[in-house]
Chains A and B, each alone.
Chain A
Amino acid sequence: MSDLPLIQADRAVPSPASTATFTGGGRGRRLRLLSRTDRVVITLMVLVPLLIVVGLVWLPALATVALSGTNWDGIGPLSEITWVGGRNYSDVIHNYPPFQPAIHNNLLWLAALFVVATPLGMFLAVLLDKEIRGSRFYQTALYLPVVLSLALIGFVWQLIYSRDQGLLNAVLGTSTDWYGDPDVNIWAVLVAAGWRHVGYIMLLYLAGLKGVDPSLREAASVDGASETSTFFRVVFPVMRPINIIVLVVTVIESLRAFDLVWVINKGRNGLELISALVTSNVVGEASRIGFGSALATIMLMISLIFITAYLAVVMREDRR
């Protein structure tokens, strides 16, 4: 307990109130501790974000869940919506061929970013932290893709990957259909997505590395630790908060992956992603709002798994 002075102080305030005999008086006393302005500020600080979160996150999310049980086509008043129960969900699973590949591709996306792109970004950050010559140039070069929108990246890579007119086939002398062959295109796209992700992670991690106390490294080298063991045993554990952010960013990036495949072929033919399926059903002329909402709800459930796992880990760690 003694390592938590802030909470100790907080705990001190309500302690009189906790004695049963003074309940009424204690309550009054506690209110009086806050001035009028304080109370207004606190109320506003709670209410405004609450309204924003409820209005922009919770209501749409609940509306999506509610609509997923209907067959609304987006036209006409809400009163004309017919309830179809779980039919959309059974259609998604049993009667929608792009769904299985989409789940598969989303997981593949997560794995590829997590296993390849993120470690590579961290590695590059460690290299750049060594103050090598031209470090600024490398930083800029590696970070550049992050500045570009994914839609633009899709276009840039299209010039490289195009079967008949692309750079890659011209250089290699092959005629691989990089974007069209469903066995190849997901990997081609992952290279493009990873290219951007590496830069993002590198910058995040580099910022973290700059904040590591140099005396830790000095102490480690005085103790005779090698570069590698200094990183893994001293620097990496110290960077815990950044590591968690990097992990979260990776998960978020792979769940919201969308732009790239949408630009390439609207998430069809080997590039199915749940987000793209949601969009192609809800947005546009198709207007299968109910069916698309069912897909969106499934995506929400998948996100919840990761969010719950993340919160559980963070809270358990903090409690320790």
Chain B
Amino acid sequence: MSRPRTEAEYLARLVPPSVAGIGRRRLLAGAAGAGALLGTGALAGCGSDSGSGSGSGSKTVSLGSNQSDPNPKAVIAKVMDGFKTSTGIEAQINTVDHNTYQENINNYLQGKPDDVFMWFAGYRMRFFANKGLAGDLTETWGKLSGYSDAFKKASTGDDGKQYFVPTSYYPWAMFYRKSVWEQRGYQVPKTLDELNTLGAQMKKDGLNPIAFADKDGWPAMGTFDVLNLRINGYQFHVDLMAGKETWTSDKVKKVFDTWKGLLPLHQPDSLGRTWQEAAQSLQQKKSGMYLLGLFVAQQFGNDEQNDIDFFTFPEIDPAIGAKALDAPIDGYMMARKPKSEANARKLLEYVGSKDAANITVKNDPSTLVANSGADTSGYTALQKKAAELVGSATEIAQFLDRDTRPDFASTVIIPAFQQFIKNPNDIDGLVNSIENQKKSIFSS
């Protein structure tokens, strides 16, 4: 071996022997060892958690909150004040930005989560219950009152136990401005044909018939949900979300076909628009209606709140009717090993009580409370109507990304729906692609 002739060559020669010297096998063993260390560390952490929790005298409980917007955050603070007044236990609220909260939930729940944390009903709740990352609340449910069977069902895991305390919900519907509709003499459509006729009239009047935005990927899920519920019914929708039905079936193709027919009525160029911008087009009277959740009201001024009205998406198949809808439920869950289980259960009992619901009714006009025992006389007209709509619903879906696996929703459905909006003509290719990816994801 000749001497290196330059400094660079000399340095370059140093590298391979140092890597080769350790050897592939030993490196892998080292990696496994490090992994084992991490694993035991996490386990040890959990052990010490539950150990320290045995002190029953502690007067605190921690709460992980995703309500980071100023208004809901203030409401949570008021509810927790109420909890302190009623039980003397202080809740420490750890608020995290809701997107970050959602993205980190896996790590959060596996690390050292707060005793009680906010989450969603539906598949997303059952998923963590199955993984053993949530505490069993069957006992706590025995002390709750004022919940309909629909809410209890939405709080139940695959094993028949309850893991979730629902507190609030909001329906998805077609929102519009009363003043615009009165001025133009529009009537609420009862069937798909009437919706098409109304849309054509709005176009003539220079409006975007249906405001639409899908830059963030999720709003289009609402459109798919409602079309699938109207065309194929609730049970098919749930089974499709659970991966039991195939996406290549004629039933799903019919949903996309109907959607394709409605797309010309939707606001164009939706893939570059946020839902806030679309909602503002409704608020500015440039769009006629908008399929969105009750939170659309956030984009309206206080003086305009009374001008907002809505109707449920019209019937498509008379045999199916128009009684099912998306109404996502938010609520609370308990960590698998809370530091203080007794306090955590007290907190869950309190947030599920009508006292807590009453505080929410008084302070938050953008949501509906789940407890039917609450005094809802403080509801705005819009809230009252929304509560009636959900009350009259025969079945309630949670929303596509809450009803199916999150990996399927975010890495398959979002790009697929955006692809469809871009090019609604290749439905066969689209459903084949979704089905192939679904098989791969659901089999793992």
Contacts and interface: CB of A to CB of B under 8 A. Distances in A.
Interface stretch (A30-38, A95-103, A106-114): A95-103
Contacts of B268: 177
Contacts of A185: 272
Contacts of A95: 433, 436-437, 440
B337 to A, nearest CB: 15
B433 to A, nearest CB: 6
Contact of B271 (A7, A63, A177): A177
Contact of A179 (B103, B215, B411): B215
A223 interface: no
A285 B31 contact: no
Nearest to B423: A182
Contacts of A268: 217, 414-415, 418
Given A77-B39, A269-B422, A181 B103 contact: no
Contacts of B39: 77-78
B106 A265 contact: no
A11 B27 contact: no
B31 A284 contact: no
B241 to A, nearest CB: 15
Contacts of A250: none
A47 B133 CA distance: 41
Interface of A: 1, 4, 6-7, 10-11, 50, 54, 58-59, 62-63, 66, 71, 73-78, 82, 84, 87, 91, 95-98, 161-165, 175, 177-182, 185, 265-266, 268-269, 280-281, 283-288, 290-291, 311, 314-315, 318-319
B110 interface: yes
Across chains A and B, which 8 residue pairs bring their CB atoms closest together, nearest first? A180-B272, A177-B269, A180-B271, A285-B406, A284-B103, A71-B444, A286-B407, A179-B272
Interface in B299-337: none
Nearest to A267: B415
Given A269-B415, A315-B9, A284 B271 contact: no
Given A77-B39, A177-B269, A185-B272, A62 B411 contact: no
Interface in B92-120: 102-107, 110
- The secondary-structure label for the interface of chain B is helix
B5 A319 contact: yes
A163 B406 contact: no
B77 interface: no
A163 B273 contact: yes
B411 A280 contact: yes
Contacts of A318: 6, 8-9
B8 A164 contact: no
B277 interface: yes
Nearest to A87: B440
A263 to B, nearest CB: 12
B28 interface: yes
Given A164-B277, A315-B12, A181 B269 contact: yes
A98 B415 contact: yes
A59 B110 CA distance: 22
Given A164-B277, A180-B270, A59 B34 contact: yes
Given A59-B30, A269-B415, A311-B12, 18 more contacts: A1-B5, A50-B18, A59-B31, A63-B31, A63-B35, A82-B444, A91-B440, A97-B419, A162-B272, A165-B277, A182-B422, A185-B272, A265-B216, A268-B217, A284-B103, A286-B407, A286-B411, A290-B444
A84 B441 CA distance: 12
Contacts of B106: 74-75, 285, 287
B4 interface: yes
B335 to A, nearest CB: 14
Contacts of B437: 91, 95-96
8 contacts: A7-B6, A78-B39, A178-B272, A265-B216, A269-B422, A284-B406, A286-B410, A318-B6
Contacts of A59: 27, 30-31, 34
Given A95-B437, A287-B407, A265 B215 contact: yes
